[in-house]
Chains A and B, each alone.
Chain A
């Protein structure tokens, strides 16, 4: 196998630091119902993403997904939860599920749910928008490495399945096939399934030829841990520890707007914990430097 020369890359955070940061931010965002903490986590994650976003990467799909998830969560809670003292509109009670009073409190709590989803999505966004695919695999703990590759490869087959379906159905149409009932789809589905199986076998052979499963995954350069990585990991773990510790200690971490709205309780220590998650946005990516010469080892997997 011909080893490609190492490409010039920005010396950013270590992939494992990114993974720990993402998991910590998701944990904090979903461990509380308080909109203040969730909003701060979302803002911190947004800052981190904007700081490290490589040029040319599009954020529009993420923005659309955020708005859709948050809006849907707020809408569902508004129309399905009929609790609260401040009624905005009263729908006829014989309407299934949505009938009854629509309250400000339900809307507020739906907004909190949506904010949590938005914060969680923003927290995991760097794994797809900042890191390269092999970085994510490298970031996984050793025992999960092969499982991660297998799962990722399986997910990759889904899009391949879709492509094959389009190609086969187009080819069949050109041969005069037209959909007429369920049975007629056999002429499309059978070739699609057979093609998918052939693709899987071909992929498995290709991976085996590249040494998948022969040993631990190797790389051209050994991953190094900088002080910046340690600081980011420490801040992320500290934030999670703070939230869990104070929750176990009986501090008011959550907010529940029923039956009437009130200001969420805010603990300054937890605010600082949320701010700690913004540390990667302060640890700016360094200037692009020529890669250090490293003796290439084997490149299997």
Chain B
């Protein structure tokens, strides 16, 4: 039975490899079209759809939970869409509001629906995950734009004002609360320039984190939350943004220092690679 484990190993490896490739290549049918009307709820999020001809559809969708997936949001918005699941990526949008009218490949070879997300009224960020994996909270926005396959996709118009009338309190409180960490960073970088102002802003933003919990549920905007929002805005603080894995994506906000994960991975890879190289050289020397 010489060589049997070799064949067993090869069979195991090929089976495992075939399974993984099949899993990655598997495509599931998209979600059915669901139309619902936006209504009152705990949170609100905007949906913006920009067609290739520049026409824009905006919706403000309310939801009753703390977070909502991008897929649930678009389903609730009433905009007709269809998609396909792509393994770990999640659900990609293939067609939206009859654009394209028919398709054979998804994403399209010439154009596709790029997915964007805006956190707390901030700038659009290109999402590197599908709408089934994308989670949004109150005050966020989900954007879609039909863009050419080549080149960096341009973002849709800013979502400001789409949900302004729906939940002014929550949006204001969130804008004040989220920049806490960023505000601290801003303090560190601009402390010599204007210490009193930044210190005040930091303190205000820190307080906002605790205040937000109470103001978010309230129906009337509080003076504290509004002041905190202004303080955050005057220090040039951008709202915090994180889209799961896409936080490390192309549109991420700039970070300071070295990513510890990258450092650990580089050290580990360098160590293992160097060790393997040494062993290869030693094995070659031993060989007759």
Taking Cβ atoms with an 8 Å cutoff, the residues of A that contact B are 26, 30, 33, 36, 39-40, 43-44, 46-47, 50-51, 53, 55, 65, 69, 73, 82-85, 87, 90, 93, 100-101, 113, 116-117, 120-121, 123-125, 127-129, 131-136, 148, 151-153, 155-156, 158-159, 252, 254-268, 271-272, 274-275, 278, 281
Contact = CB atoms under 8 A, between A and B. Distances in A.
B28 to A, nearest CB: 16
A43 B273 contact: yes
B258 to A, nearest CB: 11
Interface of B: 1-13, 16-17, 19-21, 24, 86-89, 105, 107, 109, 112, 114, 126, 128-129, 149-153, 244-250, 252, 259-262, 264-265, 268-269, 272-273, 275-276, 279-280, 283, 286
18 contacts: A33-B87, A50-B279, A50-B283, A51-B279, A120-B16, A121-B13, A127-B8, A128-B9, A133-B1, A148-B8, A152-B8, A156-B3, A252-B248, A260-B128, A262-B128, A262-B250, A266-B259, A271-B264
Contacts of A128: 3, 5-10
Contacts of B248: 252, 262-265
Given A128-B9, A136-B8, A47 B247 contact: no
Given A85-B152, A113-B21, A266-B264, 7 more contacts: A51-B279, A73-B21, A116-B20, A155-B4, A256-B129, A271-B264, A275-B268
Is chain B's binding surface mostly helix, strand, loop or mixed?
Answer: helix
B238 to A, nearest CB: 19
B88 A258 contact: no
A149 to B, nearest CB: 8
Contact of A36 (B6, B260, B265, B280): B265
B103 to A, nearest CB: 13
Contacts of B246: 262
Contacts of A132: 5
A125 B275 contact: no
Contact of A93 (B109, B268, B272): B109
Contacts of A262: 128, 246, 248-250, 252
Nearest to A43: B272
Given A153-B1, A156-B3, A260-B126, A40 B265 contact: yes
Contacts of B259: 266
B148 to A, nearest CB: 9
A268 B264 contact: yes
Given A53-B283, A153-B1, A254 B245 contact: yes
Given A116-B20, A254-B88, A266 B265 contact: yes
A152 B7 contact: yes
A85 B150 contact: yes
Contacts of A275: 268, 272
A142 B250 CA distance: 51
Contacts of A73: 21
A281 B275 contact: yes
A155 B7 CA distance: 7
Which 7 pairs across A and B sit closest by C-beta, in order of nearness? A266-B261, A128-B6, A43-B272, A254-B88, A252-B245, A50-B279, A136-B5
Contacts of A100: 109
Given A93-B109, A113-B24, A258-B89, A127 B9 contact: yes
A133 B109 contact: no
Contact of A83 (B16, B128, B149): B149
A254 B20 CA distance: 13
Contacts of B275: 47, 281
A259 B112 contact: yes
Interface centre among A43, A129, A132, A135 (most CB of B within 10 A): A43
Interface centre among A50, A100, A255 (most CB of B within 10 A): A50
A101 B91 CA distance: 22
Contacts of A263: 248, 262
B105 to A, nearest CB: 8
Given A100-B109, A275-B268, A87 B150 contact: yes
A93 B269 CA distance: 40
Contacts of A265: 245, 247-248, 261
A77 to B, nearest CB: 9
Contact of A40 (B88, B109, B129, B268): B268
Contacts of A85: 149-153
Contact of B107 (A83, A129, A252, A256): A83
Given A55-B286, A87-B150, A260-B250, A33 B4 contact: no
Contact of B3 (A33, A120, A159): A159
B268 A271 contact: yes
B4 A26 contact: no
Nearest to A152: B4
A135 B21 CA distance: 30
Contacts of A120: 13, 16-17, 20
A26 B16 contact: yes
Contact of A124 (B1, B12, B129, B152): B12
Nearest to B1: A133
A47 B272 contact: yes
A69 to B, nearest CB: 7
A258 B245 CA distance: 12
Interface centre among A90, A123, A124, A257 (most CB of B within 10 A): A124
